[in-house]
Chains A and B, each alone.
Chain A
Amino acid sequence: MVYMGQNERATIQAVLAGDKDAYGALVVRHSRMLFRLAYRMTGNEADADDVVQEAFLRGYQKLASFESRSDFGTWIYRITVHCALDRMQKRRAEAARRVGEEADPELDSVQVADASPDPERLALSAEIGALQELAMRGLTAVERTAFVLRHMEDRSTEEIAEALKVKPNAAKQTVFRAVEKVRQRLVNMKVMA
C-alpha cells in the first residue's frame, strides 16, 4: 500500500481505524530525522537505533491522544526526546551501579562514526567527535538534552521547554548551565593537553 502521497492526517486516521500498515509510512518518513536526534543525545549508534524504535512504539500507543491540528513530526520528535532521555538516565544508573565493581572499558571509550572512507578524514572526525563527547560527558541527561536541542538541533527555548515539560525560563537556565559546564571541561582538557 502507498501512503506517502497522502497527507499525514489521513494516514493517522487510517492507523486509528485499525490499518497498522499505514503507520509504516510515518515510520519510514521520520526515522532518519529521529535517528539524528537520538544519536546526538545518546552519542551511541546502537542506543540511537533502539531509541528510534522505542519512540515509534510509544507514538503508536499514544496515537489516539495526538492532536490532529499539530504536526506529527514535531510530536514524535518530542516523544523521541523523552525516549532518549530515559535511555541516558538508565545508562547512567547502570554505570553508577557498576562503580566499585569493575571498570567497563566500553563505557569509558568514546564511540565515533566509522562511515568515512578517507582515513585522514576519519581520524579528524573521530578526534572532533571524541572531543565533543568528552566535553559533554559532565552534563546530566537533562542538561545534555537541552544543550543538544539548542546547540545542535537549533531549537528555540520554547521548543526545548515543551520537549522537557518545563517552563521556558527553566529550559533557558538548563541550557546556560550546560554551556558553562561544557566550556569548563574544554578549559580542563586544554590544560591537560
Chain B
Amino acid sequence: MKHLNQEQLVDAYYGGKDGVAERRLKRRLDRHLGGCDECASAYDTLKSDLAAVSASDVPERAADYGAQIWSRVAPLLPPRPFEERRAPGMGMWRGLSYAAGCAVLVAGAFYVGTVWEHYRHAGKTVAPAPEQAHAPAQPKVVVVVLGDHLDRSERLLVELKHADSDSAETAPLKDEARGLLAANRVFREDAEKDGDADLSTALSHLDKLLTGLADHPGQLDAAALSQLKDEMNADGLLFEVRVLRSKNPHRNAAVRVIARGGTA
C-alpha cells in the first residue's frame, strides 16, 4: 500500500474546511489513515505538533474598543469616500460621447472647408479682425479661498499618508497637487508680505511637497511614495496644516483671484 506523503497528511488535517472536492479527498485520506498504522502514527505526530501552535490567547480589548478606534479614525477621514468605480454603463456613455464629439468635429471641419472654398473662389482673403488678432489669450480666472485651500491640502496629505502603490490611487494625487500649486504660491506670497511667519513656513513646506508630487515623473510606486513622504515629512506637514486651520479661522476667509495658466 502506498503511504500518504506530508502534503496529504496536511490535507487530511485541514481538508474538512474546504469545498466538496477537498472534503471527498479528506474522506479518502481518513479511510487510509483508518487502515494504515504507519500513516496514522505520522498523522498523530502532525496533530500533536500543530496542537502546540493552537490559537493563542488574544489580549482582551475594552468593551469600548470599537469606540476608541472610531475616535482615532474619524478625524482622519476625508469628507467622502473616494469615487473609485464608475457607475455601471458609464463606459458606454463615455464611448458614445467620444463618438458624438468626433462627429461634431468632422461636421465642423466640413463646414469650415466649405466657407473657406467660398471665400477663395470669391477672390477674397480671410483675415482676422485686428482687435481679435492682437487680443491676448484670456486666462481662466479662478477664485480661491485660503480656508478651502487648506482643507484641500489637508485632504491631499491624508490621502498621501494612506496611499499605497496602486497607480489608480496615486494618479489623482498628482492631479490634485498640480491643481493646488498656483493657489498655494499666491497665499504663500501674501503670507510673506503680511509677515505671517507660521503660514508662510507651512505653505513654503507645502509648496515643496506639491511640486515634488506634481513633477514626479511616471507613476508613484511604493518606493517613490515612501521617499516623498519621508523627505517632505508629510506627517509633520499634515499636523502644521491642521493647526493652521484650527488656530485662526478668520484668516482662512482670505480670498484671492488667480488665473489658471497665468499669475495672480
Contacts and interface: CB of A to CB of B under 8 A. Distances in A.
A18 B80 contact: yes
Interface residues of A, number: 58
A26 B81 CA distance: 14
Nearest to A86: B164
A31 B74 contact: no
B46 interface: yes
Given A40-B56, A132-B53, A154-B17, A53 B73 contact: yes
B60 to A, nearest CB: 5
- Residue from A86, A131, A156 whose CB has the most chain B CB atoms within 10 Å: A156
B69 A40 contact: no
A158 B50 contact: no
Contact of A62 (B10, B79, B81): B81
A117 to B, nearest CB: 11
A113 B52 contact: no
Contacts of A113: 56-60
Interface in A141-170: 150-152, 154-158
Given A52-B69, A57-B73, A36 B58 contact: yes
B69 A186 contact: no
- Residue from A64, A86, A114, A116 whose CB has the most chain B CB atoms within 10 Å: A64
Give the bracket for the number of chain B residues in contact with chain A.
35 or more
B7 interface: yes
A60 B70 contact: no
Contact of B69 (A56, A62, A154): A56
B6 A131 contact: no
Given A54-B162, A113-B59, A175-B14, A29 B84 contact: no
B93 interface: no
B72 A176 contact: no
A65 B81 CA distance: 9
B76 to A, nearest CB: 6
A16 B247 CA distance: 30
- Residue from A31, A40, A115, A176 whose CB has the most chain B CB atoms within 10 Å: A31
Contacts of B30: none
Interface string B64-87: 011101101110111111111100
A61 interface: yes
Interface in A1-28: 15-16, 18, 20-21, 23-24, 27-28
Contacts of B190: none
A146 to B, nearest CB: 11
Contact of A16 (B22, B50, B81): B81
A61 B166 CA distance: 13
B55 interface: yes
Given A62-B84, A114-B59, A20 B77 contact: yes
Contact of B66 (A28, A150, A154): A28
A88 interface: no
Nearest to B73: A56
Contact of A27 (B53, B55, B66): B66
Nearest to A150: B14
Contacts of B46: 179, 183
B61 interface: yes
B73 A183 contact: no
B53 to A, nearest CB: 5
Interface string A85-119: 01000000000000000000000000001111000
- Residue from B49, B78, B84 whose CB has the most chain A CB atoms within 10 Å: B49
A39 B159 contact: no
Contacts of A140: none
B67 A28 contact: yes
A128 interface: yes
Listed from nearest, the 6 A-B pairs whose CB atoms lie closest are: A28-B66, A63-B81, A31-B66, A152-B55, A113-B59, A27-B70
28 contacts: A16-B80, A24-B67, A27-B73, A28-B66, A28-B69, A31-B66, A32-B65, A40-B55, A53-B73, A56-B69, A57-B73, A58-B162, A61-B81, A64-B82, A86-B164, A113-B57, A125-B57, A128-B56, A129-B56, A131-B52, A150-B17, A151-B14, A156-B18, A175-B14, A176-B7, A183-B49, A183-B50, A186-B53
